[in-house]
Amino acid sequence: MVIEIPALFGPDEVRDLRQTLDTADWSDGRLTAGHRAARVKDNAQLALDHPVARQLADRVLARLQQTPLFIAAALPARVLQPRFSRYDGRGHYGNHVDNAIFPIPGTGEHLRADISGTLFLSDPQDYDGGELVIEDTFGTHSLKPAAGNLVIYPGSSLHRVMPVTRGVRLASFFWTQSFVASAERRRLMFDLDGAIQSLAGDHPEHASIDTLTQVYHNLLRQWSTP
């Protein structure tokens, strides 16, 4: 499922993030791509060990931990350190699928990339092109949301970033390993959670809330993986 989470960061916060990124030294994004992806990738990225990258990644991670909609949709077990990209001058990233497994820097451990995430940091009116296009079982989605909005989608999906023909597109991107590996099961859990929250809001004393909550947690217990 493709879910847009509005206002992960507010306008003033986004402005501060962009100003900090303006002080950074960018590297060729192809250096971090696999052999095939490098052939269709034309952007700039911050090195993972760049002080600005680490500082801003910590801010993104802290905000994700405080965002109920992200937690409900992703059921996150672990989130890889967010990274930062810059597209301009017809920069683009052609059709590709993200790696299934990523090393966790400095740990010797690995993360299964169940969910991809893109946090948009440029206002859509400030650049032309740059849409995130995602192809999944429900069709093709073309997204260019407001700055500060987050889009999460299955890591297994084919996706691309259209050429930026004017202005600059800044974004943060990351991968999440979910407690529930199956995208279909995550969607069921998300829908069930939403129904419980809606029922609890409209009828807080309804007897079915406890039963549905029991079903939710027992499904999570059955479907979760370490």
The answer to whether the predicted template modeling score (pTM) of the entire model surpasses 0.85 is yes
Domains identified in the chain, total number: 2
Helix H or strand E encompassing 110: strand 109-112
d(CA 209, CA 212): 5
Cα–Cα distance, 117 to 135 (Å, whole number): 14
Q: Which amino acid is at 77?
A: A
CA distance 90 to 146: 20
Is the same domain home to 130 and 195? no
CATH of the domain at 210: 4.10.860
Q: Determine the pLDDT at residue 73.
A: 98
Q: Are residues 109 and 207 in the same domain?
A: no
| Same-domain check for residues 153 and 93 | yes
Residues 46, 101: one domain? yes
For the domain that residue 39 is a member of, what is the CATH number? Answer: 2.60.120.620
DSSP summary character for residue 160: E
One domain, residues 135 and 212 = no
Please answer whether residues 160 and 209 qualify as being in contact, where contact means their C-beta atoms are separated by less than 8 angstroms: no
pLDDT at position 36 is: 67
Q: What string of pLDDT tens digits covers the 226 residues of the chain? A: 999 999 999 999 999 999 999 989 999 888 776 666 678 999 999 999 999 999 999 999 999 999 999 999 999 999 999 999 999 999 999 999 999 999 999 899 999 999 999 999 999 999 999 999 999 888 899 999 999 999 999 999 999 999 999 999 999 999 999 999 999 999 999 999 999 999 999 999 999 999 999 999 999 999 998 7
Torsion, Cα of 92, 95, 99, 105 (10° steps): 0
* Residue 35 pLDDT: 64
Q: 178 - beta bridge partners?
A: 76
**All residues at 6 or more sequence positions from 82 whose CB lies less than 8 Å from its CB, including other chains:** 56, 57, 60, 61, 117, 119, 172, 173, 174
Q: Could you give the angle at which helices 51-65 and 11-21 cross, rounded to 10 degrees?
A: 160
> Which position has the token pair 């299934």?
100
Is residue 150 domain-shared with residue 210, that is, in the same domain?
no
Task: Please tell me the distance from the alpha carbon of residue 60 to that of residue 81, in angstroms, as a whole number.
Answer: 9
Domain span at residue 52 reads: 3-178
